[in-house]
């Protein structure tokens, strides 16, 4: 008997690869061998291709569309225009923001790249030929690209379809190009505090228009099976269930006859949340032709037409005492939504969670107003690797803190520290209405400052400045600080829904007779490694090794309903559902174990992978034994089998936070910045897989680097997209990307079953401010208060020139 060594508790725990282990990813075997299954890899019998004729101009009436030459081409099967979609009621579609959007140009076009006609043909080449032969007659109209000119009295009216509507989806509209005004906080009280304040800093902070630009563009394959009446759509969908419901509502196909499948997704970053004309046209074309239709946009389509991000003009005022205690915050934002309001925000939040803009600070009173306007630009406004408008909010407050510090003549690290919400103030009610769940900002800040040796950095910076002033160097050193508080995990059904669908999420677990399991979720991974990490959560909950648990997502015929993956909601919501479903399994397992051991339920205790009798640990039943018993024993009062499902409605959002520091050296004569150090401390609550967390932080920081230092979607005055290819749209290569130092503190969320908060988006939220603040910091001694991103070489060179540093 003693020959067989009984594994210790620690050994049994370690065999599970549960919470807190850097488990290697199960996804990688197929990805490294080229065996991923992305949308464009799908090949069905008889499948045709579709692609768009797009508008070359930003604002015009469509006088005529001649499809005859295209249709005459062998290999072209059909050309759809708005006139073909109108009888089906599909020439317009609802957006996620309560607006509607043209599927195909209905009488006019409102942005360059807008979808005008959909050509269907044998293959990509035949379709490209067809697209080039569709002749469209445009009558050009005046263009509005400046959101501040959109509401002028004589501004051209963009949305003639709603020109007379005084009420929009989010309240009163004051101009045909005005979408909504959204307010939070105390207006009068804030104004009063600002008027009476000892010090007020006033600045316009612009967070420019950019684009999530995942490496895989958007696409789908739609297949209408006329024999059984079932529509199947494989697509790049971050929210497959929501797509199914929307598809049913707009097409009148009963929801049970629609199957949406998100296969492997090549990055999302918010780009793949919305519903695009390509999906609708592919579905219609499949219904019309009776064969599957594939549509995959190219990179230029992607950058020009599908979901941009940001484009917020944030005017701020922040007040403080002379000693640096913040007394109030005021913000008015002008939000450029493009031609249709297609933001992907919860219904009641047309400006997302922009009201997290009081950041990490204890600010007694605040007021926020956001005005959304239409311009002749592509629709979107998605959360590009952040929760809804959170990176805008965080950038705003972190710039305002810097500007205030400058005005006070105070070190901005000290100003932050002086105003952080204190540990004992949690749960903390912010002036703009959120209840922050937990945090220890002072601890994180101190750890960060010590780790980077902040005092030494400032001394080095002063020396470098002296060298510059003495004419011995042409370089300046910038130290960028940021402390951010995110709000993620949307969200409680009581105030969070998308198109009326509550933002809960779900997990369903089946334990097989031999003790392995399958779990299905309403989310969908786009690189986050859900198949690896959710199995870890479950392993710790139910005592089955993570390697024995299959994770499945993305097929609406098999997965339980969920609102999908974006806004860092997978871990806070679906992760919680996973833990709760696991606990249901365990509760039933306890009854079975009690029966098998002939004791009362209460006499048992859970021990890693088994239930054992209290005080007699040698008497136990492992989860594996319990699983088998659930299939082969007739247990009085207990149903056979071992399955559970949990639909989790989170009681609150989670509030990940962190402290970041970026150090760079800037060449004043070329505008080139050399990044010397990037330190990122994240507090994402309980850490599920440290390896994956680190990978997420590296990736998010690189997207922050891109956005702050060069990436943008820019338009000229005629509404031409100036950054429509990867030649112009900046994505850093390995050569430009620095190495990162990651660090952490761990303050679990008190309301999440395992205390996890989510991390995927934190590094973007915190990173953009840190990079941008470093550029500003370098030029601070010369009086710079605000320079708009992106800080590409030319713009940085221009800062130096305008400050007279080029002599």
Partner 1 sequence: MEKINVTMTVNGKEETLSVEPRTLLVHALREHLDYTGAHIGCSSSHCGACTIDMNGKSVKSCTVFAPQAEGAEILTVEGIGSPDKLHAIQEMFKEHHGLQCGYCTPGMIMRSYRFLQENPNPTEEEVRFGISGNLCRCTGYQNIVKSIMAAADKIRDEANVEKKEIA
Question: Which of 665, 171, 72 lies closest to 369, judged by CA?
Answer: 171
**Residue among 34 and 87 whose Cβ is closer to partner 1:** 34
What is the rounded CA–CA span in Å between residue 174 and residue 647? Answer: 41
Give the shortest CB-771-to-partner 1 separation in angstroms: 13
Verify binding: residue 6, partner 1, rule CB under 8 A. no
Residues between 163 and 222 that touch partner 1 (CB under 8 A): 213-217
Q: Are 480 and 487 in contact (CB under 8 A)?
A: no
**Per this entry, what is the length of the chain?**
807
What is the rounded CA–CA span in Å between residue 282 and residue 293? Answer: 6
Verify binding: residue 451, partner 1, rule CB under 8 A. no
Q: Which among 385, 399, 610, 687 is annotated as catalytic?
A: 385
Q: Give me Rg for the CA atoms of the chain.
A: 28
Q: Is 238 helix (H, G, I), strand (E, B) or coil?
A: coil
How many other C-beta atoms can be found within 10 angstroms of the C-beta atom of residue 738?
Answer: 17
Verify binding: residue 40, partner 1, rule CB under 8 A. yes
Q: Are 656 and 684 in contact (CB under 8 A)?
A: yes
How many other C-beta atoms can be found within 10 angstroms of the C-beta atom of residue 782?
Answer: 16
What is the rounded CA–CA span in Å between residue 641 and residue 517? Answer: 12
Verify binding: residue 750, partner 1, rule CB under 8 A. no
Verify binding: residue 34, partner 1, rule CB under 8 A. yes
- How far from each other are the two terminal CA atoms of the chain, in whole angstroms? 87
**Residue among 179 and 524 whose Cβ is closer to partner 1:** 524
Strand partners, 259: 232
Respond yes or no: is residue 385 known to be catalytic. yes
Give the shortest CB-209-to-partner 1 separation in angstroms: 18
Verify binding: residue 94, partner 1, rule CB under 8 A. no
Respond yes or no: is residue 684 known to be catalytic. no
Question: Which of 138, 721, 567, 100 lies closest to 374, judged by CA?
Answer: 100
Give the shortest CB-121-to-partner 1 separation in angstroms: 12
Respond yes or no: is residue 238 known to be catalytic. yes
Verify binding: residue 266, partner 1, rule CB under 8 A. yes
**Residue among 101 and 571 whose Cβ is closer to partner 1:** 571
Find the DSSP H helices in 58-115.
68-72, 82-85
And the tokens for 651? 């009681």
- Which of the ranges 362-370, 600-608, 686-694, 708-716 carries the binding residues for partner 1, by CB under 8 A? 686-694
**Residue among 568 and 702 whose Cβ is closer to partner 1:** 702
How wide is the angle at C-alpha 452 spanned by C-alphas 446 and 458, nearest 5°? 100
Verify binding: residue 24, partner 1, rule CB under 8 A. yes
What is the rounded CA–CA span in Å between residue 430 and residue 447? Answer: 25
Verify binding: residue 83, partner 1, rule CB under 8 A. no
Respond yes or no: is residue 218 known to be catalytic. no
**Residue among 266 and 750 whose Cβ is closer to partner 1:** 266
SS3 annotation, 541-556: HHCCCHHHEEEEECEC
What is the rounded CA–CA span in Å between residue 267 and residue 265? Answer: 6
Residue choice 364, 695, 750, 781 for contact with partner 1 (CB under 8 A): 695
Can you tell me which residue has the tokens 């097409």? 251
Verify binding: residue 264, partner 1, rule CB under 8 A. yes
- Which of the ranges 177-185, 306-314, 724-732, 769-777 carries the binding residues for partner 1, by CB under 8 A? 724-732
Burial of 125 (0-12, 13-18, 19+ CB in 10 A): exposed
**Residue among 396 and 679 whose Cβ is closer to partner 1:** 679
Residues between 284 and 343 that touch partner 1 (CB under 8 A): 296, 298-299
Residue choice 56, 94, 98, 267 for contact with partner 1 (CB under 8 A): 267
Q: Which among 218, 220, 386, 496 is annotated as catalytic?
A: 386
Strand partners, 264: 38
- Which of the ranges 36-44, 326-334, 609-617, 633-641 carries the binding residues for partner 1, by CB under 8 A? 36-44
- Which of the ranges 284-292, 511-519, 575-583, 688-696 carries the binding residues for partner 1, by CB under 8 A? 688-696
The binding site for partner 1 (CB under 8 A) comprises 24-25, 27-36, 38, 40-41, 43, 123-125, 213-217, 264-267, 269, 296, 298-299, 526-529, 691-692, 694-695, 698-703, 725-727, 731, 733-735, 737, 739-740
- Catalytic residue numbers? 238, 385-386, 761
């Amino acid at each position: 008997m003693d020959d067989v060594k009984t594994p210790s508790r620690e050994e049994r725990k370690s065999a599970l690869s549960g919470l807190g282990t850097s488990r290697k990813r199960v996804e990688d075997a197929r990805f490294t061998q080229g065996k991923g299954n992305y949308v464009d890899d799908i090949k069905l019998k008889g499948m045709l291709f579709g692609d768009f004729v797009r508008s070359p101009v930003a604002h015009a009436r469509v006088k005529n569309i001649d499809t005859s030459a295209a249709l005459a081409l062998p290999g072209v099967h059909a050309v759809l225009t708005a006139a073909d979609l109108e009888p089906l009621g599909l020439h317009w579609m609802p957006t996620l923001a309560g607006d509607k959007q043209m599927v195909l140009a209905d009488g006019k076009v409102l942005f360059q790249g807008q979808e005008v006609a959909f050509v269907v043909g044998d293959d990509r080449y035949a379709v490209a030929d067809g697209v080039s032969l569709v002749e469209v007659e445009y009558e050009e109209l005046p263009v509005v690209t400046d959101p501040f000119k959109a509401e002028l009295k004589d501004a051209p009216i963009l949305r003639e379809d709603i020109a007379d509507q005084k009420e929009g989806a989010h309240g009163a509209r004051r101009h045909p190009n005005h979408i909504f005004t959204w307010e939070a906080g105390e207006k009068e009280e804030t104004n009063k505090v600002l008027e009476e304040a000892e010090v007020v800093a006033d600045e316009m902070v612009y967070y420019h228009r950019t684009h999530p630009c995942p490496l895989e563009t958007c696409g789908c394959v739609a297949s209408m099976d006329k024999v059984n009446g079932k529509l199947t759509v494989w697509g790049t969908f971050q929210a497959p269930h929501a797509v199914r419901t929307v598809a049913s509502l707009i097409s009148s196909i009963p929801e049970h006859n629609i199957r949406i499948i998100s296969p492997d997704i090549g990055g999302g970053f918010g780009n793949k949340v919305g519903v695009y004309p390509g999906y609708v046209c592919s579905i219609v074309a499949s219904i019309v032709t009776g064969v599957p239709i594939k549509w995959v946009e190219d990179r230029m389509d992607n950058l020009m037409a599908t979901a941009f991000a940001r484009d917020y003009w944030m005017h701020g005022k922040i007040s403080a005492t002379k000693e640096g205690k913040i007394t109030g915050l005021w913000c008015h934002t002008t939000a450029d939504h493009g031609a249709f309001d297609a933001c992907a925000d919860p219904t009641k939040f047309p400006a997302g969670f922009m009201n997290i803009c009081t950041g990490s600070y204890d600010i007694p009173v605040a007021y926020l107003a956001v005005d959304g306007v239409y311009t002749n630009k592509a629709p979107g406004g998605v959360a590009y690797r952040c929760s809804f408008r959170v990176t805008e909010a965080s950038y705003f407050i972190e710039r305002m803190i810097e500007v205030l510090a400058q005005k006070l003549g105070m070190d901005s690290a000290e100003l932050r520290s002086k105003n952080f919400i204190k540990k004992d103030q949690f749960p903390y009610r912010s002036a703009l209405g959120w209840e922050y769940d937990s945090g220890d900002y002072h601890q994180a800040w101190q750890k960060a400052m010590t780790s980077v040796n902040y005092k030494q950095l400032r001394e080095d910076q002063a020396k470098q400045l002296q060298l510059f002033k003495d004419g011995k160097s042409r370089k300046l050193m910038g130290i960028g600080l940021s402390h951010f508080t995110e709000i993620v995990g949307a969200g409680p059904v009581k105030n969070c829904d998308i198109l009326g669908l509550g933002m809960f999420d779900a997990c369903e677990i089946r334990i097989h007779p031999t003790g392995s399991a399958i779990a299905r979720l309403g989310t969908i991974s786009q690189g986050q490694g859900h198949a690896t990490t959710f199995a870890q959560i479950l392993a710790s909950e139910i005592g089955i090794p993570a390697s024995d648990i299959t994770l499945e997502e993305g097929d609406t015929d098999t997965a339980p309903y969920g609102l999908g993956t974006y806004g860092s909601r997978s871990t806070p919501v679906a992760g919680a559902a996973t833990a709760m479903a696991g606990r249901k399994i365990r509760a039933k397992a306890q009854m079975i174990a009690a029966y098998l051991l002939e004791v009362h339920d209460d006499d048992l205790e859970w021990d890693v992978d088994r239930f054992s009798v209290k005080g007699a640990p040698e008497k136990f039943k492992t989860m594996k034994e319990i699983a088998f018993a659930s299939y082969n024993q007739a247990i009085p009062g207990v149903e056979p089998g071992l399955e559970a499902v949990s639909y989790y409605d989170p009681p609150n959002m989670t509030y990940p936070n962190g402290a970041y520091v970026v150090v760079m050296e800037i060449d004043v004569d070329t505008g080139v910045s050399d990044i010397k150090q990037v330190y990122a401390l994240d507090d994402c609550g309980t850490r599920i897989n440290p390896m994956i967390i680190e990978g997420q932080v590296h990736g998010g920081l690189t997207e922050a680097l891109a956005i702050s230092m060069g990436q943008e979607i820019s338009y000229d005055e005629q509404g031409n997209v100036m950054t429509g290819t990867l030649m112009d749209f900046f994505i850093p290569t390995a050569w430009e990307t620095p190495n990162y130092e990651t660090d952490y503190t761990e303050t679990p969320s008190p309301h999440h079953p395992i205390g996890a908060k989510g991390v995927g988006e934190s590094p973007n939220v915190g990173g953009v401010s840190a990079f941008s603040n470093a550029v500003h910091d370098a030029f601070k001694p010369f009086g710079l208060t605000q320079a708009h991103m992106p800080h590409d070489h030319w713009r940085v060179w221009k800062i130096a020139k305008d400050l007279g540093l080029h002599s």
